[in-house]
Amino acid sequence: MTIINLSDGNSVLNQYLAEIRDKDIQKNHMRFRRNLERMGEIFAYEISKKLNYKTVEVTTPLGIAQSRVLADEIVLGTIMRAGLPLHNGLLNYFDNAQNAFVAAFRKYGKDNKFDIKMEYFTSPAIDGKVLILADTMLAPGASLVLAYQKLMEKGTPVHTHIVCPISSSYGVEYLSKTLPHKSITYWTAAIDEELTNKSYIVPGLGDAGDLAFGDKL
């Protein structure tokens, strides 16, 4: 698995990352969602540089132009609900992509231990396509691995790009061991070192789903 951390270089992505982390700015749900959407657009642009293209002829009002357009078929997958704004940003750029959705959540038991439960799953066939799987955060990584494994029931993609703006070092290591395939590229904007006993990333940003869409019961 190849790991790419876009915050290793300077770009406006770092501004959006700072704003979704900021405890005062993030209180504005609309701004929080929009910043995640912007980050999705930046990740989409960077991923687009790794894809395959073909040359086509385009008729303009004055003649014929040779243009390079995407040759890959793309499936965008996301883990609901926190991943939806990020998904929208990716979809803004890959507007012809097909879409897959996974609803997974933590079910806590004793001693803050939890299992990942899946409530909903829908996906097109992904065999021979490029899969882009997005979630806002990668904490321990169990839900993302579960989503990936479920998507593999729909076929084998030629390449998988996993997008998680904020990651824990534990989660990245877990993914590297669990999904060691050369056909996977992992994209992030921050790798934080600490996980709490409830598997929250520190410094992280809090609960991304609540910040985007409001508190849940």
DSSP string covering 4-72: EEGGGS-STHHHHHHHHH-TTGGG-HHHHHHHHHHHHHHHHHHHHTTS-EEEEEEE-SSSEEEEEEE-S
Domains and CATH numbers, the chain: 2-213 (3.40.50.2020)
Write out pLDDT tens, residues 8-22: 999 999 999 999 999
CA distance 16 to 88: 16
DSSP classification of residue 139: S
Write out pLDDT tens, residues 48-81: 999 999 999 999 999 999 999 999 999 999 998 8
Residue whose tokens read 């004055």: 62
Mean pLDDT over the full length of the chain: 92
* Cβ neighbours of 111 (radius 10 Å): 7
Chain-centre distance of CA 51, in angstroms?
A: 17
pLDDT at 112: 60
Q: What is the mean pLDDT of residues 132-143?
A: 93
Enter the tokens of residue 216.
């849940």
pTM of the model: 0.92
Phi and psi, residue 23, nearest 5°: -65, -20
Q: What is the mean pLDDT of residues 34-44?
A: 98
Enter the tokens of residue 156.
């084998």
Q: Produce one character per residue of 68-95: b if its CB has 16 or more CB atoms within 10 Å, e if not.
A: eeeebbbbbbbbbbbbbbbbbbbbebbe
Enter the tokens of residue 174.
């877990």
Residue 81: is the preceding peptide bond cis (ω within 30°)? yes
> pLDDT-derived band of residue 107, with 50, 70 and 90 as boundaries?
low
pLDDT at 114: 62
Residue whose tokens read 């915050």: 7
Residue whose tokens read 């003649």: 63
Say how many Å lie between the first and final Cα of the chain, rounded: 37
